[in-house]
Amino acid sequence: MNKYLKIEPLLAHRSPWVSLLALIMLILVSTLITFFVGLLLVVPIYGSDVLEMLVNAGQSFRQENIALLKYFQIVNQIGVFFIPVFLFSFLKTGSPGGYLQMNRFPTVFSLFAVIFLTFSILPVIHWLSGINEGMRLPGFLRGVEEWMQQAEEKNQRLTEAFLSTTTIGGLLLNILMIGVLAAIGEELLFRSVLIRLFRNWFGNVHFAVIISSVIFSAFHLQFYGFLPRLVLGLMFGYMFVWSGSVWLPVAAHFLNNTSAVVVYYLVNTGYVETPADDFGATDSNMLIFMSFSLSAAMLILVYLAEKKKQQNWNIN
């Protein structure tokens, strides 16, 4: 027997549902371990009562509480997205970079189109948010709706507390946490892994994109932002499929999140007077239609550019 015989990855030939179950278990275990490691690392700073402080931090958004919440937000991102995704891809193929489609890059044209798209689609996103906020559940689900509203209000207060910085250091930390880590981590999980799993499971890439986008939107637990986030998830998903690279949806996700962080900073420091939540919003149906048309055109151009790139690869 050849002593150099390559060992087959543990999940190499497992069915999609077994692989999905393994992914969920990795996420749960990694989340717990990173939380407790993060807890131990922060005890010398906050003392032995840090767990109680963390529980109370969600009720009172003082500056020291926000710093603690941001720390655990970063710890959570590492535990939920990065560690389990790379472990899963290693167990699946032994080559995380290839499995996660990190070793291919989109065209320069597509990246510029994404920059334009990030801002051109804002009126449509705000319009969808308005529709989402106007939705009401049937009367017998009134208790559920009230719980959703309370959860939404709490998440909104927390988001505003996170983004209420007026310092350059606070701005850079928010860009790292909300722009860089969230964009890379969420795209690796929801696009690189879940789209691939669901495509193998159902044999249909469109089902895979839709299901992963629904999970992506539901994961954020912001019920009255479900519809616009679903549309963004679909957009990111097709960028991933068309380009064969995770970096295009990462770029789109990063620009979307970071632009919100920067706008909040500019509002907080007095450079912009328009409320951050209203940035890009309009009541003009004509502007909303133009936003939709321009955004659709950008997506079509991205599709054509990436299709041409794929054809050139096949020729070469």
Render pLDDT for 64-118 as a digit per residue (tens, 0 to 9): 678 888 999 999 999 999 999 999 999 999 889 999 999 989 999 999 999 999 9
Residue 154 domain flag = yes
**Residue 30 and residue 47 share a domain:** yes
Of 94, 125, 152, the domain-final residue:
94
As given in the structure block, the two tokens for residue 94 are 């032994």
Model confidence band, residue 62 (pLDDT cutoffs 50, 70, 90): low
SS3 8: coil
Which one has a higher pLDDT value, 3 or 141? 141
In the chain, the percentage of residues whose pLDDT exceeds 70 is 93
Residue 1 domain flag = no
Residue 151 domain flag = yes
**Residue 262 and residue 171 share a domain:** yes
Please tell me the predicted confidence (pLDDT) of residue 33: 96
Least confident segment among 138-142, 181-185, 278-282: 138-142
| Residue-range definition of the domain harbouring residue 104 | 100-135+144-315
**Residue 84 and residue 160 share a domain:** no
How far is residue 276's CA from residue 237's CA, in Å, rounded to a whole number?
27
Residue 276 domain flag = yes
Model confidence band, residue 59 (pLDDT cutoffs 50, 70, 90): low
Sign of the CA dihedral with 278 first, then 283, 285, and 287 last: negative
How far is residue 233's CA from residue 229's CA, in Å, rounded to a whole number?
6
Residue 19 has pLDDT above 70, yes or no: yes
Length of the chain: 316
CA 266 to the chain's CA centroid: 23
Residue 151 has pLDDT above 90, yes or no: no
In the chain, the percentage of residues whose pLDDT exceeds 90 is 59
Model confidence band, residue 57 (pLDDT cutoffs 50, 70, 90): low
Fill in the amino acid letter for 142.
Answer: R
Helix-helix angle 226-243:122-133, to 10 degrees: 140
Residue 7 domain flag = no
Residue 40 domain flag = yes
